[in-house]
Amino acid sequence: MPQETNAENATVQMRKGVLEFCVLLIISKGEIYPSDIIKELKENNLIIVEGTLYPLLSRLKSLQVLEYTWIESKSGPPRKYYRLTSKGKESLKSHEKSWSNLSNSINSLIKKHE
């Protein structure tokens, strides 16, 4: 149902803009497969679901920001282990700048208006 009025909506909206950044951050640590990316995001209070992550990973793959290798699992079907390409490392850097600019802007707005 549309037109949420409750408080949770604020959180949801804010998280949207930074998901790609968070995913790049996590992948930058080392090769990882989607289900574990979701787990790690949740541990950091950043909720995400499969229907969001898979299209995001595909998009980043087709933009040559990410690449992956199939690796067999000992406890189930094979997994796609993702890593950053060199383009991905550049992209992460620019996300980091964006984040730092954005949080500076907002923190200064907060200071001005309290």
**Amino acid identity, residue 24?**
L
**DSSP state string for 44-107:** TT----HHHHHHHHHHHHHTTSEEEEEEEETTEEEEEEEEE-HHHHHHHHHHHHHHHHHHHHHH
Closest CA to 85 of 27, 34, 36, 38: 27
Q: x/- binding map, residues 4-43, to a copy of itself, per CB under 8 A?
A: -x-x--xx-xxxxxx-xxx--xx-xx--------------
Instruction: Give me the residues paired with residue 83 across strands.
Output: 67
Which of the choices a copy of itself, DNA, none does residue 69 contact, using the CB cut-off of 5 to 8 A by kind?
none
72 pairs with which residues across the strands?
none
x/- map, 24-63, DNA, by CB under 7 A: ---------xxx-----------xxxxxx-xxxxxx----
Of 81-100, binders to a copy of itself (CB under 8 A) are 90-91, 94-99
The option from DNA, a copy of itself, none interacting with 86 (CB < 5 to 8 A, set by class) reads none
Binding mask 38-77 for a copy of itself (x = CB under 8 A): ------xxx----------------x--------------
